[in-house]
């Protein structure tokens, strides 16, 4: 129990440190890229109008003063106001985060549903004809960037066959292509890892002993090899999910998905710094939590780690 | 971007193992295939443009959107009448160069910081490990936009973005492996004999990491190819209008109906290059495993 408290405490401390550094970097880096007052005033504004806007938004204060007041606002969970919509930045993020999270969950579920059975099947006897061909196909797919897959899917299902909509967010049909895109990007890797793990688990000494003692292949496979192999895959699943949560920007952009990925791109383009900062902080927290949960579940699932303590 | 896990597909007989793993004859099938494909792509991107003599930037609006084989274009022309074959070769050249240099940069930073963290417990290790976690959770797109805003579009901004974002991948593996090497008896012996820390790291630890570094370099190169094309696709990579595979794919989006080849051909080029790098990485990993298997006389429990 004491160990648990100290682990959680250490984790929280490093999360706080991460957020402090991240917000500081973001604050100064973003202000290098564009002048918000100019963006707000528009291209035809006179110098006086720009100066008035600077004063109105407090942009005429020294950068350090702005930074301190920004940090103070953050502590009160005030992420600032979007200069585009006039809404609080956190509301903009809240309105879109579920589209990203839901798509990430759909993509991850599809990936798991494809990869684990396929990898387990491929890994059991990797050298037979049909499985070799399929393994080669998985390898080819692993070399294909996600947005290329997205473009190919759009070309096939939306342009040629006209079965599914190009883009959009709503009915079930609009979910299919983005989900497939994410799965096609992640599934090859997971499949190959599961297959390699199953294969090396089957080569272990205790499996050979069990075989020598007369245990049936199916029993060894289901009871000994597969659970061990899946344990190893847990870490990758966690990493992949964290990756999906960080806003699959390109997938969201191609399919016009109203998630935080598109929000990030749009606010960067329009120098809407409050929103960029809020999105980045939200992503960092989500990624951090998923990674911590993956670590924890790893300890929970693996009896060897549990016994070792700490 | 994780530690490379590979699917063993080599069921070759044991006598193969006797052949040296550094001579092509002893290479696994996949490694030979990958090396051949890589040489082919590299050769084509360097030599074919000279043979063709077509400028990838020259526009010809009278002959726009020609299908492959039509109007004198071997692989067709794009929306401005530019030669797609010439653009793919130039784009391949650009992507390979960006991927190679950014991989080298990431490896350099990652190896130096990974070794330092492994060698110096205490504050330095903590700082480096925190930095690794931090960079991994930084949104790459924001970095890319910032770098481009400061330095402008171009080769070095892109290389810098990719290198600075991806070195933790190397640092993590180097750190973990270097720590286990540093715990070996021969390192202790070297230290007791008075070898300096730097010489221990460079002379005893680094050589031990070479096999996994080579595998990581190959896989990282593949990742950088994909990342480069993705950033260019989003318009924050290669300068707009440059012949780059990502730019070509981005431009092809408006012509999906009339000219699907504008998308399919550069896509195929990216896939081939990435597959070549992955084959080499897989092959190197398999060769490393096999070398170990041979050395330990069949018991690979390292």
- CA A224 vs. chain centroid, Å, equals 31
Indicate if A52 and A155 belong to the same structural domain.
no
Instruction: Say whether pLDDT at B5 is over 70.
Output: no
* pLDDT of B290: 64
Contact assignment for B5 to A145 by CB distance below 8 Å: no
End-to-end CA distance of chain B: 23
* CB neighbour list of residue A87: distance below 8 Å, 6 or more residues apart: A81
How many other β-carbons are positioned within 10 Å of the β-carbon of residue B93? Answer: 19
Q: Mean pLDDT: which of A157-171, A178-192, B39-53, B60-74 is highest?
A: A178-192
Distance from the Cα of B264 to chain A's closest Cα (Å) equals 8
Contact assignment for A139 to B275 by CB distance below 8 Å: yes
Instruction: Say whether pLDDT at B148 is over 80.
Output: no
Give the whole-angstrom CA distance, residue B18 versus residue B291: 9
Indicate if A61 and A123 belong to the same structural domain.
no
Instruction: Say whether pLDDT at B108 is over 90.
Output: yes
Contact assignment for B141 to A268 by CB distance below 8 Å: yes
3-state secondary structure string, A128-179? CHHHHHHHHHHHHHHCCCHHHHHHHHHHHHHHHCCCCCCCCCCCHHHHHHHH
Indicate if A204 and A283 belong to the same structural domain.
yes
By three-state DSSP, how is residue B77 classified? strand
End-to-end CA distance of chain A: 10
Contact assignment for A135 to B226 by CB distance below 8 Å: no
Give the whole-angstrom CA distance, residue B265 versus residue A216: 50
Contact assignment for A283 to B137 by CB distance below 8 Å: yes
Distance from the Cα of B59 to chain A's closest Cα (Å) equals 25
Residues in B touching A143 (Cβ below 8 Å): 222, 271-272, 274-275, 277-278
Instruction: Say whether pLDDT at B13 is over 70.
Output: no
Give the whole-angstrom CA distance, residue A159 versus residue A171: 19
Give the whole-angstrom CA distance, residue A80 versus residue A57: 11
Q: Which residue has the tokens 């221990």?
A: B200
For residue B264, the chain A residue with the least C-alpha distance is A152
Q: Which residue has the tokens 């490990």?
A: B129
Contact assignment for A143 to B278 by CB distance below 8 Å: yes
Structural domain including A278 reads 89-309
By three-state DSSP, how is residue A88 classified? strand
The complex's ipTM works out to 0.77
* pLDDT of A126: 67
Contact assignment for A283 to B139 by CB distance below 8 Å: yes
Whether B232 contacts chain A with CB within 8 A:
no
Residue A81 counted as domain residue: no
Size of interface A-B (CB pairs under 8 A): 133
* pLDDT of A105: 92
User: What sections of A57-145 are H helices per DSSP?
Assistant: 63-75, 89-124, 129-142
Contact assignment for A140 to B271 by CB distance below 8 Å: yes
The overall average pLDDT reported for chain B is: 78
By three-state DSSP, how is residue A180 classified? helix
Indicate if A116 and A157 belong to the same structural domain.
yes
Distance from the Cα of A48 to chain B's closest Cα (Å) equals 26
CB burial of residue B25 (10 Å; 0-12, 13-18, 19+): exposed
Give the whole-angstrom CA distance, residue A112 versus residue A237: 8
Give the model confidence (pLDDT) of B235-280 as tens digits: 777 787 777 888 888 888 777 777 777 788 888 888 899 988 888 8
Indicate if A187 and A254 belong to the same structural domain.
yes
How many domains, in total, are found in chain A?
2
Give the whole-angstrom CA distance, residue B39 versus residue B37: 5
Buried-state track A157-186, b at ≥16 Cβ within 10 A, e below 16: bbeeeeebbeeebeeeebbbbbbbbbbbbb
Contact assignment for A192 to B6 by CB distance below 8 Å: yes
Instruction: Say whether pLDDT at B292 is over 60.
Output: no
A86: left (phi over 0), alpha (psi -120 to 50) or beta: left
Indicate if A32 and A110 belong to the same structural domain.
no
Whether B142 contacts chain A with CB within 8 A:
yes
Contact assignment for B270 to A145 by CB distance below 8 Å: yes
Contact B278, B218 (CB under 8 A): yes
Contact B253, A151 (CB under 8 A): yes
Write the DSSP assignment of B152-171 as a string of letters: -SSHHHHHHHHHHHHHHHHH
Domains of chain B with CATH codes: 69-295 (1.10.3720.10)
Instruction: Say whether pLDDT at B210 is over 70.
Output: yes
Whether B7 contacts chain A with CB within 8 A:
yes
Residue A83 counted as domain residue: no
For residue A30, the chain B residue with the least C-alpha distance is B146
* pLDDT of B113: 93
Indicate if A19 and A101 belong to the same structural domain.
no
Indicate if A93 and A71 belong to the same structural domain.
no
Contact assignment for B8 to A199 by CB distance below 8 Å: yes
State both tokens at A247. Answer: 């806003």
Contact assignment for B233 to A147 by CB distance below 8 Å: yes
Pick the closest to residue A250 from A151, A143, A165 (CA basis): A151
Q: Which residue has the tokens 């990974």?
A: B114
Contact assignment for B274 to A152 by CB distance below 8 Å: no
Indicate if A68 and A115 belong to the same structural domain.
no
Whether B254 contacts chain A with CB within 8 A:
no
Indicate if A284 and A159 belong to the same structural domain.
yes
Residue A251 counted as domain residue: yes
Distance from the Cα of B199 to chain A's closest Cα (Å) equals 33
Residue A211 counted as domain residue: yes
* pLDDT of B14: 43
Indicate if A25 and A168 belong to the same structural domain.
no
Of the residues A21, A42, A75, the one at which a domain ends: A75
Whether B196 contacts chain A with CB within 8 A:
no
Distance from the Cα of A65 to chain B's closest Cα (Å) equals 22
Pick the closest to residue B125 from B180, B79, B172 (CA basis): B172
**Angle CA(A93)–CA(A94)–CA(A96) in degrees, nearest 5?**
70
Distance from the Cα of A159 to chain B's closest Cα (Å) equals 7
Residue A265 counted as domain residue: yes
Low-confidence ranges of chain A (pLDDT < 70): 1, 34, 43, 126, 246-247, 303-310
Distance from the Cα of B87 to chain A's closest Cα (Å) equals 18
Of the residues A16, A49, A75, the one at which a domain ends: A75
Residue A109 counted as domain residue: yes
Indicate if A135 and A245 belong to the same structural domain.
yes
Contact assignment for A159 to B257 by CB distance below 8 Å: yes
Residue A84 counted as domain residue: no
Distance from the Cα of A127 to chain B's closest Cα (Å) equals 7
Give the model confidence (pLDDT) of A10-68 as tens digits: 888 888 888 888 888 888 877 777 677 777 777 677 777 778 777 777 777 778 888 88
The overall average pLDDT reported for chain A is: 81
* pLDDT of B7: 47
Of the residues A75, A102, A128, the one at which a domain ends: A75
CATH of the domain at A302: 1.10.3720.10
Q: What is the mean pLDDT of residues B176-188?
A: 85
Q: What is the mean pLDDT of residues B292-302?
A: 40
Instruction: Say whether pLDDT at B104 is over 90.
Output: yes
């Amino acid at each position: 129990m004491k160990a648990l408290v100290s682990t959680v405490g250490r984790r929280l401390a490093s999360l706080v440190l991460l957020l402090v550094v991240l917000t500081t970097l973001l604050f100064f880096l973003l202000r290098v890229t564009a002048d918000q007052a100019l963006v707000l005033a528009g291209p035809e504004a006179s110098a006086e109008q720009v100066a008035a806007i600077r004063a109105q938004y407090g942009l005429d204060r020294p950068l350090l003063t702005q930074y301190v007041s920004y940090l103070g606002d953050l502590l009160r969970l005030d992420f600032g106001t979007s200069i585009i919509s006039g809404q609080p930045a956190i509301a903009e993020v809240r309105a879109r985060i579920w589209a990203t999270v839901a798509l990430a969950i759909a993509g991850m579920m599809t990936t798991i549903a494809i990869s684990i059975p396929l990898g387990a099947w491929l890994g059991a006897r990797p050298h037979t004809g049909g499985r070799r061909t399929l393994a080669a196909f998985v390898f080819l797919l692993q070399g294909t960037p996600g947005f290329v897959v997205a473009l190919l899917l759009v070309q096939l299902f939306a342009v040629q066959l006209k079965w599914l909509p190009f883009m959009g967010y709503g009915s079930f049909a609009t979910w299919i292509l983005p989900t497939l895109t994410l799965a096609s990007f992640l599934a090859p890797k997971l499949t190959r890892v599961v297959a390699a793990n199953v294969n090396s688990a089957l080569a272990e000494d205790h499996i050979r002993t069990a075989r020598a003692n007369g245990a049936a292949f199916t029993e060894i496979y289901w009871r000994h090899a597969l659970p061990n192999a899946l344990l190893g895959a847990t870490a990758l699943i966690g990493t992949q999910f964290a990756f999906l949560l960080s806003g699959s920007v390109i997938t969201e952009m191609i399919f016009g998905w109203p998630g935080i990925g598109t929000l990030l791109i749009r606010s960067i383009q329009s120098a809407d710094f409050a929103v960029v900062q809020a999105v980045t902080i939200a992503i960092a927290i989500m990624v951090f939590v998923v990674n911590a949960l993956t670590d924890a579940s790893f300890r929970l699932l693996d009896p060897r780690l549990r016994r070792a303590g700490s | 971007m994780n530690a490379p896990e590979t699917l063993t597909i080599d069921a070759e007989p044991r006598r193969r193992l006797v052949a040296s793993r550094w001579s092509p004859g002893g290479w696994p099938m996949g490694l030979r295939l990958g090396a051949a494909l890589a040489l082919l792509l590299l050769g084509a991107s360097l030599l074919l443009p000279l043979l063709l003599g077509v400028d990838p930037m020259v526009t010809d609006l009278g002959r726009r959107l020609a299908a492959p084989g039509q109007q004198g274009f071997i692989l067709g022309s794009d929306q401005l009448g530019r030669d797609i074959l010439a653009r793919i070769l130039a784009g391949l050249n650009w992507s390979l160069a960006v991927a190679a240099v950014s991989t080298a940069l990431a490896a350099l930073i990652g190896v130096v910081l990974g070794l330092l963290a492994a060698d110096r417990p205490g504050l330095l290790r903590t700082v480096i490990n925190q930095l690794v976690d931090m960079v991994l959770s930084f949104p790459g797109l924001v970095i890319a936009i910032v770098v481009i805003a400061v330095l402008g579009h171009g080769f070095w901004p892109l290389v810098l973005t990719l290198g600075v974002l991806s070195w933790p991948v190397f640092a993590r593996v180097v750190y973990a492996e270097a720590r286990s090497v540093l715990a070996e008896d021969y390192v202790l012996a070297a230290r007791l004999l008075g070898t300096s820390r730097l010489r221990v790291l460079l002379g005893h630890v680094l050589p031990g990491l070479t096999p996994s570094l080579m595998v990581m370099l190959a896989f990282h190169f593949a990742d950088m190819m994909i990342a480069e094309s993705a950033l260019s696709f989003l318009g924050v990579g290669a300068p707009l209008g440059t012949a780059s595979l990502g730019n070509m794919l981005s431009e092809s989006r408006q012509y999906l109906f009339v000219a699907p080849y504008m998308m399919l051909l550069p896509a195929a080029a990216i896939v081939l290059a990435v597959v070549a790098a992955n084959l080499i990485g897989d092959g190197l990993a398999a060769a490393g495993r096999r070398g170990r298997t041979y050395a330990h006389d069949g018991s690979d429990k390292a």
